[in-house]
Amino acid sequence: MSRIPVAVPDTALSVAGVTDYIQALLEQDPQLSRVWVMGEVSSASDRGGHIFFTLQDPEATAAIQAVVWRSQRQKLTTLPAAGEQVILLGQIRVYPARGQYQLSTLQLLPAGAGLQALKRRQLYERLAAEGVFDEALKRPLPTYPQRLAVVTSAQAAAWGDIQRTLQQRQPGLSVVLSPAIVQGVQAPRSIAQAIERVCQATQAELLIVARGGGAREDLDAFDDEQVVRAIATCPLPVVTGIGHERDETLADLAADVCAHTPTAAAECAVPHITSLWADHAARRQAVSSALQSAVQMHYEDVADWRRRLEQLHLDRQLAQERQRLTWQKQQLRQLIQHRLQAAQQHCQYLAQTVQTLDPDSVLKRGYAVVRAEGDRVIGQADQVTVGQQLQVQLGQGSLTVEVKQRSP
């Protein structure tokens, strides 16, 4: 397909030419050379004595950049501060290098607290009364998380900063992105829905809610009640990394840990692998030192007991005890022999006594035993009657006799 040639007019302007034209229109307009503007200071920063700030109209969602030059500071009634409502007298100036226009401040008068700051303070007081920001509700972060979830814009530099930081600190860590719009009217609902998706659909152990730096009004979504409640009710520990170090949103107050920037949030979420290795090495060294100390202590105890044993002269004590036992053995043996001899002599005495008292021995000496019927021994004459037969036992043999006569 052939293209139709387009003729370039001779009146075409360069970029600088367009910028010069716009600058001439704005800066030479008498209405804009000295104009009073009322608005709310949404952000302010001091750079080398110059104050750059944003003047915002909350009702019309419009904003304009403004500057207080260092030479003008002493002439102002008040200095711009974030959240303050002011009335500004200034001049429209164009910055050609960036193609931007801004208000060069000639005078600044206070006009009361800004609407946005007032709404934020009222929301803070209401949520604080409910206990949303209580320190007692803050949960500790997991020491070694294995799976993280991140809520931020997929196109934002914050997501790249978080990925790069996590990759440096713990390569291979599982990270899930729940994308959200982080600026504008749709941002609060989008962020709350992204947090809800994390709670329902992932197995994450920790949530990072992040947004890169910008003007203070760019962070208004994180002062929205939807976002604050979503963070406060999230079942996972939440780390916020929103804006710059100087920025603080209500979402930061509701989070378990506020790291202010995306990179700092990633650093808070997981320990560095080198730190983990150093901790591991330190623990190994501590265990090794403890074992060495314990072994050394036991060695010293053994040496002490050895010295005590040597001081006791056990070999000498054993020899003395052996000699004592030998002497007691001899004494016991002598005692037993003595008692045995005494017992034998006593047995001989008893045998002789028994032999002496033996009736047979008595009978052998000429005595006799007279028994009546029933083997009853007769010891007196009146125990028998005349004509009664008796049995007489002699030393050898026995006699049967009849009583012929008895004498008392």
Domain end, chosen from 244, 271, 298, is at 271
Owning domain of residue 148:
120-135+144-271
User: 78 and 157, same structural domain?
Assistant: no
Residue 231 falls inside a structural domain: yes
* 263 and 235 in a common domain: yes
Q: Say yes or no: 160 and 79 in one domain.
A: no
pLDDT surpassing 60 at residue 6:
no
Q: Residue 2 pLDDT more than 70?
A: no
Residue with tokens 């993280």: 148
- Lowest mean pLDDT: which of 287-291, 341-345, 391-395? 391-395
Give the C-alpha distances (Å, rounded to integers) separating 85 from 69, 152, 190: 20, 31, 29
**Residue 90, domain CATH:** 2.40.50.140
**Closest C-alpha among 97, 41, 46 to residue 73:** 46
Same domain, 148 and 100: no
Q: Which tens digit of pLDDT belongs to each residue from 151-200?
A: 999 998 899 999 999 888 888 889 999 999 998 889 999 999 999 999 98
> Is there a domain that residue 353 lies in?
no
Task: Establish if 1 belongs to a structural domain.
Answer: no
Mean pLDDT in residue range 336-347: 92
Among 271, 287, 308, residue at a domain's last position: 271
3 confidence band (pLDDT: 50, 70, 90): low
What's the mean pLDDT when you consider all of the chain? 86
Q: How many domains does the chain have?
A: 3
Confidence tier at 106 by pLDDT (50, 70, 90): very high
pLDDT digits (tens, 9 = 90+) for 178-191: 999 998 889 999 99
Quick check: 49 pLDDT over 80?
yes
Write down the pLDDT at residue 102.
93
* Residues 217 and 244 grouped into a single domain: yes
Residue 244, φ and ψ in degrees, nearest 5: -110, 175
Query: Is 193 within the bounds of a domain?
Result: yes
333 within domain boundaries: no
**349, part of any domain:** no
Q: pLDDT exceeding 70 applies to what percent of the chain? A: 95
If asked whether residues 125 and 256 sit together in one domain, one would say yes
Mean pLDDT calculated for residue range 46-57: 91
Same domain, 88 and 151: no
Tell me the backbone φ, ψ of residue 2, rounded to 5 degrees.
Answer: -85, 150
Same domain, 161 and 24: no
pLDDT score at 254: 93
Do residue 103 and residue 160 come from a single domain? no
Domain termination site, one of 246, 271, 296: 271
Strand partners, 103: 66, 92
> 237 and 109, same structural domain?
no
| 337 falls within a domain | no
159 in the same domain as 25 = no
pLDDT tens digits along 238-248 = 999 998 777 78
Is residue 107 domain-shared with residue 174, that is, in the same domain? no
For residue 328, tell me if it sits in a domain. no
Residues whose CB falls within 8 Å of the CB of residue 218, separated by 6 or more in sequence, listed in order: 183, 243
Say what the pLDDT of residue 173 is.
Answer: 87
> Is 50 exceeded by the pLDDT of residue 1?
no
